Amino acid sequence: MTDFRSACEAILRKNDRGAYTVPSPRLYPHQWAWDSAFAVIGWTHVDPKRALTELQTLMAGQWRDGRVPHIQFHLESADYFPGPDFWETASRTPRTSTITQPPVWATAARRLVEVAGPSPEIAALVPAFDASHRFFHAMRDPLGWGAVAIVHPWESGLDNCPAWDVPMARIDITNPPPFRRKDTEVVGDASMRPTEDDYKRYAVLVKEIAKDDFGAGNFAVYDPLMTAILARAETDLAWIAAQHDVASETRAGERATALEAALVENLWDDDVGRFVYYDVGSRERITADVIGCYVPLWCRGAVDADKRGRLLEGLRERYLTSAWPVPSTAPAEPTFDPRRYWRGPTWININWLLVDALGEELAKRTVELVRTSGFREYFHPETGEGLGGEDFMWTAALALDLVERGFG
Ligand code: 9WN
Q: How confident is the model at residue 1 (pLDDT cuts 50, 70, 90)?
A: low
Residue nearest to atom 1 of ligand 1 (CA): 154
The reply to whether the predicted model has a pTM over 0.85 is: yes
**Residues 310-360: pLDDT tens digits?**
999 999 999 999 999 999 999 999 999 999 999 999 999 999 999 999 999
Average pLDDT over residues 210-233: 95
Is residue 251 over pLDDT 70?
A: yes
CB 102 within 8 A of CB 157: yes
CB 104 within 8 A of CB 229: yes
CB 36 within 8 A of CB 103: no
Q: How far apart are CA 74 and CA 87, in angstroms?
A: 15
Cα angle for residues 262, 266, 270 (degrees, 5° grid): 120
SS3 196: helix
CATH class label, 2-407: mainly alpha
392 lines ligand 1 (CB under 6 A): no
Is residue 93 over pLDDT 80?
A: no
Q: Which pLDDT belongs to residue 2?
A: 76
Q: How far apart are CA 221 and CA 385, in angstroms?
A: 32
Please confirm, yes or no, whether 249 is among the known catalytic residues. no
Is residue 94 over pLDDT 80?
A: no
Give 11 Cα–ligand 1 centroid separation in angstroms: 18
Average pLDDT over residues 389-402: 98
**Residues 40-60: pLDDT tens digits?**
999 999 999 999 999 999 999
34 lines ligand 1 (CB under 6 A): yes
Q: Which pLDDT belongs to residue 295?
A: 98
**Residues 105-152: pLDDT tens digits?**
999 999 999 999 999 999 999 999 999 999 999 999 999 999 999 999
Q: How confident is the model at residue 74 (pLDDT cuts 50, 70, 90)?
A: very high
Residue 70 phi/psi, 5° resolution?
Answer: -70, -25
DSSP class of residue 146 equals S
The domain ranges of the chain are 2-407
SS3 173: coil
Q: How far apart are CA 375 and CA 393, in angstroms?
A: 7
Choice between 376 and 301, residue whose per-residue pLDDT is larger: 376
Query: Which string of DSSP letters, residue by residue, matches 299-356?
Result: SGGG--HHHHHHHHHHHHHHTTTSSS--BSB-TTSTT--TTSGGGS-B-HHHHHHHHH
Q: Which pLDDT belongs to residue 3?
A: 95
**Other CB atoms within 10 A of residue 221 CB:** 25
Q: Which pLDDT belongs to residue 378?
A: 98
Instruction: Write down the catalytic residue from 155, 377, 391, 401.
Output: 377
Average pLDDT over residues 89-93: 75
- What does each C-alpha distance from 321 to 226, 282, 314, 367, 382 come to in angstroms? 25, 34, 11, 18, 9
